[in-house]
Structure 1
Amino acid sequence: MSFIFLGNALWLDFVNTQIIDGELVDLIGGGDAFLQWARAADIPADERATHGFDRALTETRLFREQLRAAANDLAAGTALNPAFIADINRRMADHPVATVLENSGSGWATRARPVTEGPERVLADIASDFARFVATEGTNVRKCSNERCCIMFYDTSKNHTRRWCSMEACGNRAKAAGRRARVAQ
């Protein structure tokens, strides 16, 4: 399965697991797909917990909807829902991360290690990424300018003028449509 990683933030890439391709497509339609997405996003997920990922699908989809609403709020410059922020804090508190000291081969280094596992841990990692994002960036969240696209992204361009989820997809289509319109005149 092919996932879209154009958001420039883990939580936005998670939001982008529901896309429009002529019709609404859920890229994490089952627990197995959710587990595959977690692995593709470099989130440690235990393969043996597949049944847990199946059970967590309803919660996963609801959380994704809440994150999409938050992305839209950030893009519009409106306040985030306090109940949603409480949910983000609860997810992080229920699934803490421990800092461990490890020998990295070239010296000592600290690394964050999840204390819990399973789908709730994956959702907590996404919640942590959202919290970090809001605390450090918090602006320049955009929706692709293509009316038929629902991809959300963090605009990291120098002047913060990025319009498309990617130039290869929506950007080139828009340029070609504009060119066709000019030639037709």
Structure 2
Amino acid sequence: MTFLFASGNLALDLVGTLNERRTTRVEHLHDGADVARWLVEAGVLDTAPTAGPDALTEALALREALFAVVEALLDQPGAPLPGAALDVVNAAADQPLPVATLRPDRSVARSGGWRAGLAAVARDGLALAEPGDAVLKWCADPACTHPFLDRSRGHRRRWCEMAGCGDRAKAAAYRARRRATA
């Protein structure tokens, strides 16, 4: 199983580890090893840390808190953000970050434990309140619950990723046009 990294933000990518949240709920984090693998695939850490049940519990709590914050940002503009979710995100962001080390070949090594990795994700989540030139959006696929940052010119991006939700939507539109002309 591979993870989806199409949102433009680590926190949003973590939120995306639970697909189809409002329907079939497809979970991608089943244990601490999945959390460690996600942190490596996301580029937060270079090597998978040792991660047990606590890592899964804290990652899922952070994911759900980030989802609550994103939901409030998108669906309740101007309203206060949910306090309990902010407590979880802020506590995770308060942890030490992964250690970055410059190598002789000019690459950067990132090391640390799973809590450091989650701290980096939480800090990316803090940036969502002020996304700058990007627009925070929900995927236009009704079954998908992936939020993403739209950095496209004109902010016309509609899907979390073209290879999945976008392709399905375009194929469905094509089939509907074909049926209408037949």
Which segments of 5 or more consecutive residues in structure 1 lack a partner in the other structure? none
- Displacement of 1:104 in angstroms is 5.7
Question: Within 2, Cα distance between the matches of 1:96 and 1:39?
Answer: 14
Read off the aligned partner of 2:9 and give its amino acid letter: A
Alignment correspondent of 1:55: 54
Q: How does 1:18-57 map to 2 (within 5 A)?
A: 18-20=18-20, 23-44=24-45, 47=48, 49-51=50-52, 54-57=53-56
- 1:11-30, Cα deviation, whole Å (9 max, x unpaired): 11111111139832211111
Question: Within 2, Cα distance between the matches of 1:148 and 1:97?
Answer: 35
Alignment correspondent of 1:8: 8
User: SS of 1:154's equivalent?
Assistant: strand
Q: Return closer, same or farther for 1:62/1:157 CA change in 2, 3 Å cut-off.
A: same
* 2:145 paired with 1:150: yes
Alignment correspondent of 1:183: 178
Question: Within 2, Cα distance between the matches of 1:4 and 1:119?
Answer: 19
Q: Return closer, same or farther for 1:138/1:64 CA change in 2, 3 Å cut-off.
A: farther
Question: Within 2, Cα distance between the matches of 1:153 and 1:113?
Answer: 25
Question: Within 1, Cα distance between the matches of 2:34 and 2:162?
Answer: 27
Q: TM-score, normalised by structure 2?
A: 0.79
* 2:64 paired with 1:69: no
User: SS of 2:118's equivalent?
Assistant: helix
Q: Return closer, same or farther for 1:64/1:180 CA change in 2, 3 Å cut-off.
A: same
Question: Within 1, Cα distance between the matches of 2:175 and 2:31?
Answer: 41
Read off the aligned partner of 1:162 and give its amino acid letter: R
Alignment correspondent of 1:91: 92
Alignment correspondent of 2:167: 172
Q: Return closer, same or farther for 1:148/1:123 CA change in 2, 3 Å cut-off.
A: same
Aligned pair count?
176
Question: Within 2, Cα distance between the matches of 1:105 and 1:47?
Answer: 22
- 1:46-72, Cα deviation, whole Å (9 max, x unpaired): 645233xx2222222121111111112
Question: Within 2, Cα distance between the matches of 1:50 and 1:155?
Answer: 33
Contact 1:35 1:47 in 2 (8 A): yes
Question: Within 1, Cα distance between the matches of 2:72 and 2:85?
Answer: 12
Alignment correspondent of 1:130: 125
Q: TM-score, normalised by structure 1?
A: 0.78
Percent of paired sites with the same residue = 30
- Displacement of 1:121 in angstroms is 1.5
Contact 2:11 2:125 in 1 (8 A): yes
Read off the aligned partner of 2:136 and give its amino acid letter: V
- RMSD over aligned Cα atoms: 3.0
